[in-house]
Amino acid sequence: MKKLFIVFAAISMVLFACKKDNIEKNEPHKATPYDNLSPQQQTWALCINYTGSWCSACGVWGEQAMDDAVNETKVVGLSLKVPSDPQAIPQALLTSFESDRPRHGSVPVFWVGDGSGSQNPAYYCRKLHKLPCSIGIDARQEITNGTLSVYVKTKNFEAISNISDYYIAAYLLEDGLHYPQLGSSSSDPVHNFVLRKASSGDDYFGQQLLKDGAANAEFTHTFTFNLSSYNANNCYAAVVLYKKTSGTIQYSYVNSFWTRK
């Protein structure tokens, strides 16, 4: 009898385990903010513009050049307001950008990816689109109770042997700022793509968050920004990937995406 009891107990445990496994397999998928994100094998362009409201050339041609670059599509624009502009970014963050992509005290100065694009940034953006894409990015945002949440997914389109060298940064940007711009022909100049914050504080290049370098591996992450000091309706995020190198530029450009509509 004791042996029969042990046999029946073992069978019961197997049947229970099978039943539990079937229940787990049949459970409906729990929705996540990343479900509809699908990174594409496409290199976007990153166009950085150092600019100031006191700069006549910025108003005469710099602002329009930035607009033209972004209008190329698949272009992330970062307008870095320098000191004495009413919306100047924190000095430490500006210094971090300038350490790799200097402006030498001048404005407007454009960088497209890792190269100077001051003469015609739109042209250099088109060239950047043609570069191979090793890691694609997709992102979406939600604004709830004054907080902007950025949901990001990346995908490796090839094996990345040194994934620890890759950094990811999210930037808070704002459009629709109305204030004077020297050199502008508009009676009410509007400033767009204005950089407010970086996810890694004073380090423009972000953080080492990607962990898996296998081909087709995907990474998800959420960044959050407090919008209490900004117009939430005009805020959105840019996400940029960099790779740490030993060259002149310490964090070279890889790819980008943004949630601007």
Residues in contact with 243: Cβ distance below 8 Å, sequence separation at least 6, in sequence order: 165, 166, 167, 251, 252, 254
Residues in contact with 197: Cβ distance below 8 Å, sequence separation at least 6, in sequence order: 171, 172, 225
* 3-class secondary-structure state, position 56: helix
Instruction: Give the C-alpha separation, 233 to 28, whole Å.
Output: 34
How far from chain centre, in Å, is Cα 203? 14
Instruction: Give the C-alpha separation, 252 to 102, whole Å.
Output: 14
Break the chain into its structural domains and give their ranges. 45-258
Contact call for residues 249 and 185 (beta carbons, < 8 A)? no
- Homologous superfamily (CATH) for 45-258: Immunoglobulins (2.60.40.10)
Report pLDDT for 14.
Answer: 45
Report pLDDT for 28.
Answer: 75
Contact call for residues 102 and 93 (beta carbons, < 8 A)? no
Contact call for residues 242 and 163 (beta carbons, < 8 A)? no
Report pLDDT for 7.
Answer: 42
Extract the runs of DSSP E, i.e. beta strands, from the chain. Answer: 45-51, 75-81, 109-112, 115-116, 135-144, 147-156, 166-174, 177-178, 190-191, 194-198, 218-226, 235-244, 251-258
**What type of residue is 179?**
Y
Integer CA distances (angstroms), 137 to 40, 70, 169, 234, in order: 7, 18, 12, 22
Report pLDDT for 92.
Answer: 98
Instruction: Give the C-alpha separation, 250 to 137, whole Å.
Output: 22
Report pLDDT for 21.
Answer: 52
Contact call for residues 154 and 39 (beta carbons, < 8 A)? yes
Rg of the chain on CA atoms, in Å: 24
Residues in contact with 211: Cβ distance below 8 Å, sequence separation at least 6, in sequence order: 163, 219
Residues in contact with 188: Cβ distance below 8 Å, sequence separation at least 6, in sequence order: 178
Contact call for residues 51 and 80 (beta carbons, < 8 A)? yes
Report pLDDT for 5.
Answer: 46
Q: What is the pLDDT tens value at each position of the chain, 261 positions in all?
A: 445 444 444 445 544 455 555 545 567 778 999 999 999 999 999 999 999 999 999 999 999 999 999 999 999 999 999 999 999 999 999 999 999 999 999 999 999 999 999 989 999 999 999 999 999 999 999 999 999 999 999 999 999 999 999 999 999 999 999 999 999 999 999 999 999 999 999 999 999 999 999 999 999 999 999 999 999 999 999 999 999 999 999 999 999 999 999
Look at strands 135-144 and 147-156 and give their pairing: antiparallel
